[in-house]
Amino acid sequence: MSLLITGGTGYIGSHTVVELLNTNQDVVIVDNLANSSTKSLDRVEQITGKKATFIKADICDKEAMREVFKAHDISGVIHFAGLKAVGESTQIPLSYYHNNVSGTVVLLDVMNEFNVKNLVFSSSATVYGENNTSPLVETMPTSATNPYGQTKLMIEHILFDLAKSDPDWSIISLRYFNPIGAHASGLIGENPNGIPNNLLPFVSQVAVGRLKQLQVFGDDYDTIDGTGVRDYIHVVDLALAHLKAVAALPKLPGCTAINVGTGNGTSVLQIVNKFKEISKVDIPYQISPRRPGDIATVFAEAKLAHEVLGWQAERDLTDMISDTWRWQSENPNGFE
């Protein structure tokens, strides 16, 4: 039996594939390479000494997805495939709704057809919207502030409805906080196209000289130093949460949303200072106006993951930044 990993050549997917291969799980990856390259597959093989089966296909292509399920004995799916840039989603919302929401419906349809009813889904802390106060708890009301967030919220609604309609489904929706870091080997890591939107890829590209300086979006928030506070989570810890979730599916019918965070908040300037300390490189920055849509503080209550999955984050901020720096300094241009 194999696990199907959609989006498995991407940032979080590739780290999860490493951990799955390390536990001798057979893995089939489906990715359309919209935001990744097959170079990550070579690196995954270099790290693990094992190979995943790779199929270049789009999850929106129902016939192609049927072929995948026909050709492989799939026991369950970890569904990472999706577009994820918040700003871009406000420019081309239809692409986001099509790719993320319609693509997921196609995937679920085909899973239903082949009677594969175990799913772990990549959700996001973005579903908590802007009206809840951290620590964010799974029972809080959800909302979305941009099309990307809407797609995650819509998919969660679809998953809850599906699980309600058919008791054979077991679904875990993992709500990631802010994934950063890279594999300790320095061989795989985050490889964004163009100018990064997220803090850590931006800081690390400043550190290697690809970008001139960081813009710190606001220093007048009600936080420890006025800059935004987030719950950064090491991508390898996040990958391991997926293995725990897959293991928990058989005893967890229905659809369950679970936070994946550390429960700790770190400010932008704390990140910058930690990065400077570890890399021994200066990170020039300038304070700029707040970024529209940002909120002051976001961090998880991380209890449920511990209770239900037996998972908790084990890597601290030093590990996260050291691993980010190793990846970026050894691969200044990513996989290129």
Active site residues: 148
Q: Quick one: 7 or 147, whose CB is closer to ligand NAD?
A: 7
Which residue's structure tokens are 């229905």?
Answer: 254
Task: State the binding partner of 13 from ligand NAD, ligand WQD, none, CB within 5 to 8 A by kind.
Answer: ligand NAD
58 binds ligand NAD (CB under 6 A): yes
C-alpha radius of gyration, the chain, whole number: 19
263 binds ligand WQD (CB under 6 A): no
259 binds ligand WQD (CB under 6 A): no
> Judged by CB under 6 A, which of 22, 26, 33, 312 binds ligand NAD?
33
Convert 285-324 to b/e letters by CB count within 10 Å (16 or more is b): beeeeeeeeebbbbbbbbebbeebbebbbebebebbbbbb
Residue 128 Cβ, how far from ligand NAD at the closest point, in Å?
12
> Judged by CB under 6 A, which of 29, 52, 59, 108 binds ligand NAD?
59
Residues 6+ apart with CB under 8 A from 188: 14, 15, 18, 40, 43, 44, 47, 182, 327
Site string for ligand WQD, 121-140 (x = CB under 6 A): ---x-x--------------
Residues 6+ apart with CB under 8 A from 307: none
- CA–chain centroid gap for 36, Å, is 14
Written in H, E and C, the secondary structure of 2-29 is EEEEECCCCHHHHHHHHHHHHCCCEEEE
Cα–Cα distance, 317 to 322 (Å, whole number):
8
Cis ω before 147 (30° cut-off from 0): no
| Stretch near ligand WQD under the rule CB under 6 A, chosen from 41-49, 67-75, 211-219, 316-324 | 211-219
Cα–Cα distance, 123 to 156 (Å, whole number):
8
> Judged by CB under 6 A, which of 215, 273, 318, 333 binds ligand WQD?
215
Residue 193 Cβ, how far from ligand NAD at the closest point, in Å?
9
88 binds ligand WQD (CB under 6 A): no
Which residue's structure tokens are 């691969």?
Answer: 331
Nearest residue to ligand WQD, by Cβ distance, number only: 228
Q: What angle do CA 163, 134, 225 make, to 5 degrees?
A: 145
176 binds ligand NAD (CB under 6 A): yes
Site string for ligand NAD, 217-246 (x = CB under 6 A): ------------------------------
Q: Quick one: 32 or 178, whose CB is closer to ligand WQD?
A: 178
Count helices and strands in the chain by DSSP H and E runs: 12, 13
Total residues at interface with ligand NAD (CB under 6 A): 28
- CA–chain centroid gap for 255, Å, is 19
Per CB under 6 A, residues contacting ligand WQD are 84, 86, 124, 126, 178, 197-199, 202, 214-217, 228, 230, 268, 291, 294
* Footprint on this chain of ligand NAD (rule: CB under 6 A): 6-7, 9-13, 30-36, 58-60, 80-84, 99, 103, 122, 124, 176, 179
